[in-house]
Structure 1
Amino acid sequence: MPSLEADAIVRPREPGGYLPVNDVPRERETRMISPEERAQIEQELKAARDRQASAGPPGARDR
């Protein structure tokens, strides 16, 4: 029977967020993107950012 004393240590019902020592995550099911694919995505994002920046502040064309 658990201790009902006021100074008793309260332990959480759920285990902590750390994996047990010998429990390792399983292999990825999806592949990682290649450096070439990453560079392509970065270029596309930069181009989109530049297009938005050159369009001016929001609402400027509505006037």
Structure 2
Amino acid sequence: MSTFGRDSTTDDVLAGHDLAGVTVFITGANSGLGQETARAMAAKGAAVVMAGRDQARLDEAVA
């Protein structure tokens, strides 16, 4: 059973994981949960490929 609950953050879930050398593909990455997931995984060393419906918002998310 998971120890994570509704108050868990992406940083909580990824704590202790090194994603260096891992490539992840995140959909909906221009806002909300997708953007936060992309940020957190990049912070852990993953190469992040981001997809979304709004190119301008994706560009902002990458910056």
TM-score normalised per structure 1: 0.19
TM-score normalised per structure 2: 0.19
Between structure 1 and structure 2, the one with the greater Rg is 1
Q: Which has the higher strand share?
A: 2
